[in-house]
Structure 1
């Protein structure tokens, strides 16, 4: 969602603030701005739209100052325009904010009655006005901030600077992530460590309820009760070199083509190819004693969990429920004693998933996080965290994070089956061999890019697209439809193939492409039958299968894409690749903003 950067530097910080914001572009945004102290006074530059608009403004109206804050805004309260862009400021204070102030209406009415004058439609401005009100009563910045924080309800990460205090930056966190960076006579603030990677590798993370008084050579952190606390300072491995596009046109396609490498890296954390055995990193509870598994996630991660349900139930014979995080805790689900709750989140900061984690912990569940960011809140608060090795994923539409999540979930399924005594050594060796071959097979799928680009040209004019799949192919159909919606803005839906005749078949005509995910597994014949039904009604089928499957249905399809013949266990990992490439090339054909689709954010840190 929104991105925050703050710097107390030794020289002018405007360019460094903009560079920090650029590293947060992957979160999604629709306006940007920075504020610095110039001669003790707050000065701002804000612009609607992309960062280039802010950069152009700074060329004509430069901004000096060695203390500043910056922000990329994804609109929640108030339309995306310059007036609603952050930082929000009075003559005394400027604020950047990620999150939502739930009681802003009540606070705004109170402040307006007290004489405070508002300029924007945002909930954020109430924070600046509330602090300003306390400053006007003679409170020091630290006192005014502490008083204001006690009144705020909601999720927020805040960066705050004050007129006349050119050595002071205050940060606060409740629900939304915030990192502090430590330099030599300099200090930094960011929504995540990636924003600070070029500036420092010494990072600490504020906990919920923390607020920090930051000066060039010191940091004082206080908890929600005002008690001084220490937060661990650690070295992060993130590097400024990790976010280049290389030879690729967009981050999305770069990240698609990184998948053989990152899948291999993720497998190397679990798989011994010599013995064809699989070992998860230390899990502090007995997988064999797990009575039930609850998987909680959002969006693409939810579809990864949906694949895992098939794997775990089939291999380990353990009941699995897959839950949408935003709905999970509100129905107060009944959780089985001895159950395991798995939380999947690329960023490790997804607000709904974090809330579900806390609910499960409070109800006695073992908790396991599957994340791509070791320092994230979900990782830190879970009993055990398993890491994908995807590296920073900048494109808003998740690609390599999804497939590496599937790899780890496959590892969990095999490990649980073995712990339950449901899998012998021969079967484990067979599945481990299939996993070991995935990176090479993904490379083979990527060589079909030209074919997928051609097919994309025929799909781009469509208003509606249907994806079909059975078994583990069903979640891939759902994921394919989501990818197409995200980056091309074409309406798409994924269906279980067997559900076709229960309603969706009414949508079939010669204007609606049908993308079919159909490896030659035990369900192939049933899916093939559904394809025949589609073709009989004029449907234009794009058939994703292996050579054996294509040979049996090629004459019925408008187009085919041949994938390697693989063990059905790993098929969903491979079949994720063509639906990603298809979505990408349809978006290119339509001319959309692939890496930053409209209205979307990379990391959803509010409910």
Structure 2
């Protein structure tokens, strides 16, 4: 979940490294550093804090050279500090390494290297890599990296330089994303495409167990065993502007406003011209394979897990197949019952989430078919799954996910309808009805976005409280969980979400005078029961902010304040009801003066367990 960038060519590498790291700072921002080969040899500058701190240092004492590596860090081993920042070197300072991921056996390697006389200065696992490469170097940096990698266990993406071979940059990937940018007389590495898109649209996407040797004149791809690889260049067809704020104050706000387009793009060609049928050519299961599905496991982390909870209800209702939802970090360790009749759906915005990848591999090992829902073409889950449903949300930069989450909802609606129409568990008229409503969602999101003033006022009131609760039933409960997560991750207000029917089983003890309770009541068949739960918290002094469907009038009689979303099919309500909750979180964070796009202690892409 850190950011890597590297350059070799004719230009000043420092400038390219810094600009690339700016595009990746959302991946890690507690420290940053660069290593550049200069006339004085391999020179390193790094510092704790945001990238601006490093940029200031380099402004005072720039590093001039045509090859370099850079890194922006999210701490895993060792607290944020200058010495723990990347790049790391060996004792001779002749080798330099940047690293994403975790080296699981670093302690054993470190002890072995200390016995050989190596002296370590940081708390990181990464420093071990630079010492290990130095210890096996015999004049060929590629072979030295290959030897070192065979000793390492864990997940890693590496960029490696040595003063002994100053025209070469080595890149390695194992379970952590890394791409190669191909230019004219210059080449690049990056942990994500935005880092290099300003300079080239031609990329190689490294697979697990692959490495690359870059010089200014070319790129050589090979396996970690040294076997050469031939691969076509992937052409990036989206614009760098989509990764910028486009006039909004924050990426998160821009991405909230991007959602109507993301809905349209994700639906795209997956609805036939008549509007009465879902078409999903990317799902290559035959009708018989679909009929053979006996159960579905949905596996994801965080926000993607909350999308999976909606997906569970959608698939069970439409396809009548039992569905389990699992937090990916727990899935492997509970010995799940997986058979060839199990369909596993993994959900990951980045497609690189370590726990989700591990669960995917566990499922495949046990014979299950895997469908991936991801926002990144060419990501690990996309390559390793049997079928891939890409969510066309576009790049999402803010740490708190918004448009990636709602695009995942759209993907689940489409997939649920696809399963249902294939199995005959829903009538064609029902499919047409839901699809017609789905195609109106973008316009209805725009209606909600026109009412941000009312949500901003609510947000500015709730920030006076240290605790807050969300309640809901059915699909509303799934959305309440996501609303609560958004609020706490960017405003730092303690927030919890509960199934409204569970209040009497302990939660009511936490309700006291004036505590805000946000009550979702968009599900018609559960509305009366939800109202009863609202009365329970009102009787104990809570201030209730209700969220209902436009045209419903009863909620206003029991809640202190009501915000209404446009009328839609009950099944699709989460795609609308989450929008005001996203805005609520945004404005609460803003009112408290926090960094909306980069909340403390969090990173965008969680590529370690």
* Fold match (TM-score > 0.5): yes
Structure 1 window deviating more from structure 2 (446-455 vs 221-230): it is 221-230
Cross-structure match for 1:64? 64
Give the Cα separation in 1 of the matches to 2:201 and 2:429: 45
User: How big is each residue's C-alpha offset from its partner over 1:18-55, in whole Å with a ceiling of 9 and x where there is no partner?
Assistant: 11111112223210111100026111111211111111
> Offset of 1:546 from its aligned partner?
2.1
Give the Cα separation in 2 of the matches to 1:275 and 1:239: 30
SS at match of 1:268: helix
Cross-structure match for 1:279? 279
Cross-structure match for 2:224? 224
- Correspondence 1:432 to 2:441: no
SS at match of 2:554: helix
Cross-structure match for 1:191? 191
Cross-structure match for 1:351? 354
SS at match of 1:23: helix
1:512 to 511, 515, 536: 515
User: How big is each residue's C-alpha offset from its partner over 1:398-428, in whole Å with a ceiling of 9 and x where there is no partner?
Assistant: 0000111100100011111111111111111
User: How big is each residue's C-alpha offset from its partner over 1:319-344, in whole Å with a ceiling of 9 and x where there is no partner?
Assistant: 10111111111222111332211111
Give the Cα separation in 2 of the matches to 1:512 and 1:591: 22
SS at match of 1:278: coil
Give the Cα separation in 1 of the matches to 2:501 and 2:478: 14
- Correspondence 1:461 to 2:458: no
> Offset of 1:194 from its aligned partner?
2.0
Cross-structure match for 1:587? 589
Give the Cα separation in 2 of the matches to 1:482 and 1:37: 44
> Offset of 1:110 from its aligned partner?
1.2
Cross-structure match for 1:32? 32
Give the Cα separation in 2 of the matches to 1:296 and 1:282: 20
- Asked if 1 retains the 8 angstrom alpha-carbon contact of 2:276 and 2:428, the reply is no
Cross-structure match for 1:566? 568
- Asked if 1 retains the 8 angstrom alpha-carbon contact of 2:348 and 2:373, the reply is yes
> Offset of 1:273 from its aligned partner?
6.0
- Correspondence 1:316 to 2:319: yes
SS at match of 2:275: coil
SS at match of 1:80: coil
Q: Unpaired segments of 5 or more residues in structure 1?
A: none
> Structure 1 segments of 4 or more deviating over 4 A?
none
Q: Show the 5 A alignment for 1:354-373.
A: 354-373=357-376
Aligned length in residues:
604
Give the Cα separation in 2 of the matches to 1:422 and 1:165: 64
Cross-structure match for 2:598? 596
SS at match of 2:167: strand
- Asked if 1 retains the 8 angstrom alpha-carbon contact of 2:555 and 2:562, the reply is no
- Asked if 2 retains the 8 angstrom alpha-carbon contact of 1:179 and 1:193, the reply is yes
User: How big is each residue's C-alpha offset from its partner over 1:436-466, in whole Å with a ceiling of 9 and x where there is no partner?
Assistant: 1111111111122100100001110211111
Give the Cα separation in 2 of the matches to 1:420 and 1:478: 31
- Asked if 1 retains the 8 angstrom alpha-carbon contact of 2:363 and 2:370, the reply is yes
Cross-structure match for 2:411? 408
Give the Cα separation in 2 of the matches to 1:434 and 1:289: 30
1:472 to 471, 475, 489: 475
Q: CA 1:507 to 1:382, structure 2 compared with 1: closer, same or farther past 3 Å?
A: same
Cross-structure match for 1:52? 52
- Asked if 2 retains the 8 angstrom alpha-carbon contact of 1:155 and 1:174, the reply is yes
Give the Cα separation in 1 of the matches to 2:282 and 2:460: 48
User: How big is each residue's C-alpha offset from its partner over 1:487-530, in whole Å with a ceiling of 9 and x where there is no partner?
Assistant: 00111111111111111111001242111111151111111110
> Offset of 1:481 from its aligned partner?
0.6
Cross-structure match for 2:345? 342
- Asked if 2 retains the 8 angstrom alpha-carbon contact of 1:41 and 1:164, the reply is no
SS at match of 1:71: strand
TM-score normalised by the chain length of structure 1: 0.97
Q: Show the 5 A alignment for 1:407-556.
A: 407-549=410-552, 551-556=553-558
Give the Cα separation in 2 of the matches to 1:208 and 1:30: 27
Give the Cα separation in 2 of the matches to 1:107 and 1:496: 48
- Asked if 1 retains the 8 angstrom alpha-carbon contact of 2:95 and 2:161, the reply is yes
- Asked if 2 retains the 8 angstrom alpha-carbon contact of 1:273 and 1:433, the reply is no
- Asked if 2 retains the 8 angstrom alpha-carbon contact of 1:273 and 1:436, the reply is no
Give the Cα separation in 2 of the matches to 1:103 and 1:40: 34
SS at match of 2:537: helix
Structure 1 window deviating more from structure 2 (121-130 vs 209-218): it is 209-218
For the aligned residue pairs, the C-alpha RMSD in angstroms reads 1.3
Give the Cα separation in 1 of the matches to 2:122 and 2:357: 31
Q: Show the 5 A alignment for 1:166-245.
A: 166-245=166-245
2:109 to 87, 100, 107: 107
Q: Unpaired segments of 5 or more residues in structure 2?
A: none
- Asked if 2 retains the 8 angstrom alpha-carbon contact of 1:487 and 1:583, the reply is yes
- Correspondence 1:252 to 2:252: yes
- Asked if 2 retains the 8 angstrom alpha-carbon contact of 1:303 and 1:475, the reply is yes
SS at match of 2:117: coil
> Offset of 1:221 from its aligned partner?
2.6
- Asked if 2 retains the 8 angstrom alpha-carbon contact of 1:348 and 1:371, the reply is yes
User: How big is each residue's C-alpha offset from its partner over 1:153-194, in whole Å with a ceiling of 9 and x where there is no partner?
Assistant: 111100001104221001111111111111111111000222
SS at match of 1:204: strand
SS at match of 1:580: helix
- Correspondence 1:266 to 2:266: yes
TM-score normalised by the chain length of structure 2: 0.97
Cross-structure match for 1:300? 303
- Correspondence 1:7 to 2:7: yes
> Offset of 1:361 from its aligned partner?
1.3
> Offset of 1:140 from its aligned partner?
2.5
Give the Cα separation in 2 of the matches to 1:341 and 1:145: 36
Give the Cα separation in 1 of the matches to 2:450 and 2:316: 33
Give the Cα separation in 1 of the matches to 2:199 and 2:523: 51
